[in-house]
Amino acid sequence: MFEFIYSTDKVPQIYQYIDKLSRKESEIVPLLWTEHCVECAAPKCYGTCPRFRRREDGNCVRIAGGLTPVVKNGVFSVKAEFRTWAKIESQLKISTLCGNEYAKTYKRITKLGYFFEHIAKWCPIQKISKFIFDGWFSYRQKYINFLIKNAPKQERLSLTGYIENEDKPTSLLVDVKSASKLLYREAVDVPLGETRINLPIPCYDDNDILYFINIHPTNAEQHVTLTFKQLGMVPTDIHEGKKIKCVIWDLDNTLWDGVLIENDKVKPRQNLIDLIKQLDSCGIVNSIASKNNADEVDAKLKELGIDEYFVFKKVNWNPKSVNISNTIKQMNINPNTIVFVDDNPFERNEVSLLYPALTCIDPSEIIDFSKCKRFNVTVTEDSKKRRETYKMLESLKTEEEAWDGNIDDFLKSCHIQVQLSKPDDDNIMRCYELLQRTNQLNSSGRRLSLDEVRRIVSSDQYDSYVLKSTDKFGDYGIVGFMIVEKKDDGAHITDFVISCRVANKKIEPSVVNYLAHIYQDKIYFHYKKTTLNGPMHKVIEELEMETVLNSKDFLIFLHSYKESYNNVVSIKI
């Protein structure tokens, strides 16, 4: 819901368009988006702030012309022209209304809003006019809170909708706050055109605390006009989303019945043990986050014959969120590709508040959930060995943490080797898999189809490379894929994806520098920023590349071969 009463433009028959928002089978959190200021200290700032512009209710105009209803091609949306420091904000609850009730409430609040605005506008006494405006502001939220008072509270919510940008490329911050504290923040890139937003939001629930969600440009000084379509909070469908890469298991009353420190004769749940083995065979790795004694757990896992199936185990008495946070950092994977299985709702909530994109689930649900498409991953010979490569990464991390000295010296001591070769029929599926699965270390963000990969590999217009990596801890197999387009002005790296298992080893810049030498001592590097691939930009920074093209679609950099580059990686082709 958006507050339209301060809009300078009116839409005839707006209520019939609001009616179309009704979705009989859906549940929607009734957010009421209003305009606010990121630096607000009202009303004191009204007399001191040079940016203050008086709105008809006496408050400050932040959205130029107000939040404006727009109908384009029969689709109802809302235009917001953000001035400096502008944001849109709503009180945040985690209860939902059905689609029909949501639409009725939206229409009712909009009608009453226009009614009270009309009365206040024509009232000759300013104090009474302000009283009417302020009273309406208080009433509408109390009315929404009354409607959802007995509605079921949700454990998983996502902010969804579409943002149309015809102004300039920008990015937005989505914040969740209490009156005194920033609790959550996530950035959303908004290039030109239409962007779909589907952002998991933590479900804070405390009757004594008011929570707010707000959206504003990352650069608070920026003026930008955006159009929002279907912007709202809905229950998260955990069956939709990124492919699963890792399942983290609790143990007591999850992987087995009973509490191990109370009874070492706990009964294992064989269906879950079978699932762990099945996931492992598909390349989905398993880990542990358990409040327990490590020695007792190791002995029990060995007794059950499954001790070898877990990587980066965390068995201690730390909060689950802390342990899982450490696992995420060590594995270098995104929370939206992880499932946490725990029987305790408190533990699941603690983790989901820190990582709302991470799927937290009860053990009773995991078998059915594992049958959804998020677990339908491409299985290759390399993916079958994924657990082994993570074991090697675990050994490397352990030695790295114990290293007391220069990180480059440590990497040299690892004897990292990379071999570049042309893809063949035996490994082209692995190249395709890397393009589909890789987010952070993906220079273009493109998801090429298998047919497109085959066409590029067989084309004389391109050189394509498979990257295989080994170090003193073992053989990681195929860890990367590159596409180099041959143009008149030189060679262009159009796509570069590399597994997170070998991140932070300086493989990426070393390979780019090596290829520059191969292609007449220079190479162009294409980069398209996404919300996740920031780590790939570090390659550009590391090699101090020169910008040659900065367009709305992508950036092109030029790298000239540096013989002096501190190469800690041995490369051969």
% the chain with pLDDT above 90:
48
Higher pLDDT, 54 or 352: 352
C-alpha span between 552 and 547 (Å, rounded): 14
Within a 10 A sphere around the Cβ of 58, how many other Cβ atoms? Answer: 15
CA distance 458 to 442: 22
Do the Cβ atoms of 279 and 239 come closer than 8 Å?
A: no
In a domain, 52, yes or no: yes
Percent of the chain topping pLDDT 70: 95
Stretch among 13-17, 208-212, 298-302, 498-502 having the lowest mean pLDDT:
13-17
Q: What is the arithmetic mean of pLDDT over 101-119?
A: 80
Comparing C-alpha atoms, which of 215, 231, 217, 226 is closest to residue 89?
215
Domain count, the chain: 3
Q: Which residue has the higher pLDDT, 85 or 40?
A: 85
State the CATH number of the domain containing residue 278: 3.40.50.1000
Residue with tokens 């597994």: 499
Tell me, yes or no, whether 366 and 490 share the same domain: no
Q: Residue 382's pLDDT is what?
A: 76
Examine the domain organization and report whether 493 and 355 are in the same domain: no
Q: Is the pLDDT of residue 2 over 70?
A: yes
Is the per-residue pLDDT at 501 higher than 90? no
Beta-bridge partner residues of 463: 484
Query: Does residue 385 belong to any structural domain of this protein?
Result: no
Q: pLDDT tens, 238-273?
A: 998 889 999 999 999 999 999 998 888 899 999 999
In a domain? residue 6: no
Diameter over CA atoms, the chain: 83
Give the residue with greater pLDDT, 157 vs 135. Answer: 157
335 and 415 both lie in a single domain: no
Q: Determine the pLDDT at residue 21.
A: 63
For residues 428 and 353, state if they share a domain: no
Which of residues 327, 356, 375 is at a domain's end?
375
Q: 513 in the Ramachandran plot: left (φ > 0), alpha (ψ -120 to 50) or beta?
A: alpha
Residue 133: pLDDT band by 50, 70, 90 thresholds? Answer: low
259 and 310 share one domain: yes
Using alpha carbons, select from 551, 436, 546 the residue that is nearest to residue 495. 436
Q: Greater confidence, 75 or 479?
A: 479
Query: For residues 252 and 293, what is the distance between their CA atoms, to the nearest angstrom?
Result: 12
Say yes or no to pLDDT of 431 above 80.
Answer: yes
Tokens of 133: 């405006």
Confidence of residue 344 (pLDDT cuts 50, 70, 90): very high
Peptide bond into 43 cis (omega under 30): yes
Residue pLDDT, tens place only, 6-65:
888 776 667 666 766 666 558 889 898 989 888 777 677 777 787 888 877 777 888 998
- Domain membership of residue 357 (yes or no) is yes
Q: Specify the pLDDT at position 77.
A: 87
Q: In Å, how far are 13, 56, 79, 229, 336 from 111, measured between CA atoms?
A: 11, 18, 19, 20, 40
What is the spatial distance between Cα 336 and Cα 357, in angstroms, rounded to a whole number?
5
What number of other Cβ atoms are within 10 A of residue 480's Cβ?
25
- Quickly count helices (H) and strands (E) in the chain: 15, 27
Last residue of a domain, one of 209, 235, 261: 235
- Whether the CB-CB separation of 289 and 323 falls below 8 Å is answered with yes
Contact 507, 415 (CB under 8 A): no
523 part of a folded domain: yes
Q: Can you give the pLDDT at residue 98?
A: 86
Give the structural domain span for 409. 404-572
> Residue 90 — pLDDT band, cuts 50, 70, 90?
very high
- Whether residue 252 sits in one domain with residue 191: no
- Among 105-109, 191-195, 551-555, which is the least confidently predicted range? 551-555
CA distances from 257 to 28, 87, 96, 276, 550 (A): 37, 49, 35, 16, 58
How far does CA 557 lie from the centroid of its chain?
26
Name the average pLDDT for the chain: 88
On whether both 187 and 47 belong to a single domain, the answer is yes
**74-78, 304-308, 443-447, range with the lowest pLDDT:** 74-78
Residue 509: pLDDT over 90: yes
Question: Each residue of 310-342: pLDDT tens digit?
Answer: 999 999 999 999 999 999 999 988 999 999 999
Judged against a pLDDT cut of 60, whether residue 550 lies above it is answered with: yes
Residue 391 lies in a domain: no
With respect to residue 183, please indicate whether it lies within any of the assigned structural domains: yes
pLDDT of res. 226:
95
* 445-464 b/e (C-beta count within 10 Å ≥ 16 → b): beebeeeebbebbeeeebbb
Q: Are residues 531 and 561 in the same domain?
A: yes
Long-range contacts of 127-135 (CB under 8 A, 24+ apart): 129/57, 130/57, 130/58, 133/57, 133/58, 134/57
Q: Residues 6 or more apart from 538 whose CB is under 8 A from it? A: 508
One domain for residues 250 and 208: no
Whether 122 has a pLDDT exceeding 90, the answer reads: no
Residue at 510 is within a domain: yes
On whether both 453 and 527 belong to a single domain, the answer is: yes
CATH code, domain with 519: 3.40.630.30
pLDDT for 20: 67
Q: Are residues 229 and 302 in the same domain?
A: no
pLDDT digits (tens, 9 = 90+) for 433-470: 889 888 888 999 888 999 999 999 999 999 999 999 99
Q: Give yes or no: residues 544 and 431 share one domain.
A: yes
Whole-angstrom Cα Rg for the chain: 27
Domain boundary among 216, 235, 254: 235
Cα(511)–Cα(567) distance, integer angstroms: 10
Characterize the bridge pairing of strands 416-421 and 359-361. Answer: unpaired
Residue 244, helix vs strand vs coil: coil
Half-sphere exposure of 488 (CA within 13 A, CB side): 0
- The kind and range of the H/E element at 132 are helix 126-147
Tens of pLDDT along 385-423? 888 888 888 888 888 888 877 888 888 888 999 999 999
